[in-house]
Amino acid sequence: MKQAIKCVIGLKQDSIKDLVERRKRDFKSMGKKKDSDIFKELCFCLLTANYTAEGGIRIQKKIGDGFLMFSEKQLAKELKALGHRFPNVRASYIVEARKHLDGLTETIGSMSPMDLREWLVANVKGLGYKESSHFMRNIGLEDVAIVDLHIVDFLVNYGVVDRPKTMTPKRYLEIEEKLRKIGFAAEMSLSELDLYMWYCETGKILK
């Protein structure tokens, strides 16, 4: 774990620090927006499951308010035309999630981060721990970890964890706790730590 901590501290002293800080400000500002904007960010996170962040960003920009108003059939058609791997399933998830649109910011503000994540997993079809954490990070909540393949690769490469055969909720929380210890030692929130680790593995800072 010491080498992993040394790596992220080194990155924090690099030129990408300014980019990370800008992205953190973007996340904080997103958390202050209205229900419809927060919902579109939720749709982005539904799209990225078993897909790519780059693809999700591209589709989010193209569809925009269509997430709020397209029929399931129309949305599936648009997703297919834009190259999403699972257009029909993702369209159904997004349309079903609209029942949470009104009052979404109030719901988010009424719970602790851990309770909110459990609520998202239980109530928004298509969101597991990873996708729920991704959504929460993107709206400015910093105390949850996005345990995706890149983060697992980073931790495995530095000997922090063994590669899990399956990502159960229990295993997810165990890995999150490891990340929390690294973040504490590096004086970073889990949100900030994720950006540096993701950059280490991909050379990119996305969202």
Instruction: Give the active site residues.
Output: 130, 148
Helical ranges in the chain per DSSP H? 2-12, 17-30, 35-48, 53-63, 66-69, 72-81, 87-97, 104-109, 113-123, 129-138, 149-157, 169-186, 190-202
* Closest of 9, 11, 7 to residue 159, by C-alpha: 7
Q: Kindly write down the DSSP assignment for every residue of 23-82, as one continuous string.
A: HHHHHHHHTTS-HHHHHHHHHHHHHHTTS-HHHHHHHHHHHTTHHHH--HHHHHHHHHHT
For helices 129-138 and 35-48, angle between their N-to-C axes, nearest 10 degrees: 140
